Every structure is written in C-alpha cells, then in structure tokens.
Amino acid sequence: MDIETLQKNVDAFNQISESLGLLPIAIVHPKDCKGQEKNARYFKPETFKQLVANIKKYGHLETVPLVYKEGDIYRTISGHHRIEAAVEAGLEWIMVFVDNPENRDEIVAKQLSHNALEGKDDPFILAELFNSIVDVNYKMDTGLETEFMPVNYAQININLLESKEMVLMFLPDDFDYVAKNIDNITALTSFKPDSEISVVPLKIYDDMVELIMKTKQVKNIKNNAVAFSEIIQFVASHEKEFLEVQ
C-alpha cells in the first residue's frame, strides 16, 4: 500500500475516532519522533536488545506510543524505548496516538503515568520530573504522589514532639563511581543533620523493593514506609529464629 492510500485510510479512521472521542492516530517514520530531554524510565541493555529482537521478529510494535505535535515534529510522551527499538529494528513506519496536551505539566504527568513497560526508573530523574510538575492535580494523575509528595507539617494540626530519620542509600559497589558522583548524590538529598545514613549495595535494591511490594499486596497496605515497618515487626517477632546460629 502506497503512502497516499495509507494516509487516506488514516484520515477516514480519524474521522470515526473523533466522533467517538478517541485520540487520532498517525503513521510516521520512527526517526521523525523526538523524545523528551529527560525520561526516568530506562532499560537494561539486555532488555532493550530483546525488545529490538521482538520487533524484528513480528515486524511491528505490540503497543502504540503516545506523541504530540510540536511544530512539524512529533514529540514522544510515552514509548521512548519502543520508538528507539523500532529505529534499530529498521521499521519504516509505525503507528502513534497523537495527543493534544494543554501544558508542560500534563505532558510530564502522562509521561510518568504511562511508563508501564518492563524497565526501571532512575530515582533521581523520576523525582526531578515529578517535582517539576506545578499543578498538584497533574501530580496526582501520575500515581506517584504517595512516593514523592512532601509532607507539609505546617498544614498538619499536630505537634511533632520528636522524629528520627534513618536513610538507606543504595549505591553501586564501585567505589570509584561513588567517589566521582558523591557531589551529585548529596545534592539530591535533604537529610536531617542527625540522620542515620547507611550505604547499602545497589544489587539488593530490587529484592528489597519486591519484598515491600509483596507485603503491601498481602497486607493491603498503600504506603511503602508502613510496609517496611511490617517487615521489621515480623523479623522482631521471630528474633530468636532469625538470629539463631545454625
């Protein structure tokens, strides 16, 4: 099918989509889609290679990226890695949904909330993007408000008589890497002067997060800190077995 015939079919589809209140689609070359300057979601190299292999195998994307028009170019909201993989896989055309966001806050909110592919978030970039959203309603739309919304103690009608802070920093085992990036690490923190800070190997981060997520699911808990306290209480209640020398 030539591009002119394809475009006519797309126009006809979009007329139906408009009447149904759906987003329009576009058929574009993946190289014509420009990603956001910052994207918290990253893939392990082996995961990205697998995505490229899958696209080559099936000849198309399994899910449709979300973009918006900025002048004559398409800017990606969701689907950065799918589009990059499509380029590497040699796809000539891909289908995208074309959104019409009202402002930057809406773009970032959707970028964060749509990052549901298998991958990982860079916690520093994720926090930076979340905090760049001005409108609290858009922050709520990301689904990350329980993780990043700071507590405004001035608005809480209680007296905080005492509080303590224990910080676990998950860092690579590579001492040289940590030493070179220590300024960036400390610049992104806001610890209390008397905080107890412990450095933990980054390699156990995923295991810890998985344990917290399972605890939240089993105990029907929404907050990570509460789930973590449940884990501590469980270990404390089985202290004898836990500390018993085999």
158: confidence class by pLDDT, cuts 50, 70, 90: very low
pLDDT digits (tens, 9 = 90+) for 91-149: 999 999 999 898 998 888 888 776 644 456 667 677 778 778 877 767 765 656 555 55
CA–CA distance, 147 with 39 (Å, rounded to integer): 18
Would you give the distance in Å from CA 219 to the centre of its chain?
Answer: 24
Higher pLDDT, 157 or 149: 149
State the Cα angle at 51 between 49 and 55, rounded to 5°.
Answer: 115
H or E stretch covering 112: helix 104-113
| Number of neighbouring beta carbons within 10 Å of residue 101 | 16
Maximal CA-CA distance, the chain: 75
Residue 182 token pair: 């220590």
Residues 57, 24: contact at Cβ < 8 Å? no
pLDDT at 155: 45
Q: Specify whether the backbone of 168 is left (phi greater than 0), alpha (psi in -120 to 50) or beta.
A: beta
pLDDT digits (tens, 9 = 90+) for 24-83: 999 999 999 998 888 777 677 887 888 898 899 889 998 899 999 998 889 999 889 899
Residue 208 token pair: 């810890």
Which of 77, 100, 106 has its CA nearest to residue 18?
A: 100
Domains in the chain and their CATH numbers? 3-129+133-140 (3.90.1530.10), 161-243 (no CATH)
DSSP state of 46: H
CA–CA distance, 223 with 231 (Å, rounded to integer): 13
Residues 42, 51: contact at Cβ < 8 Å? no
Which of 107, 28, 113 has its CA nearest to residue 74?
A: 28
Provide the residue type at 166 as one letter. Answer: M
List, in sequence order, every residue forming a beta bridge with 169; answer none if it has no partner: 199
* Cα pseudo-dihedral 125, 199, 143, 70, rounded to 10: 10
pLDDT digits (tens, 9 = 90+) for 204-232: 888 888 898 899 888 888 788 888 888 98
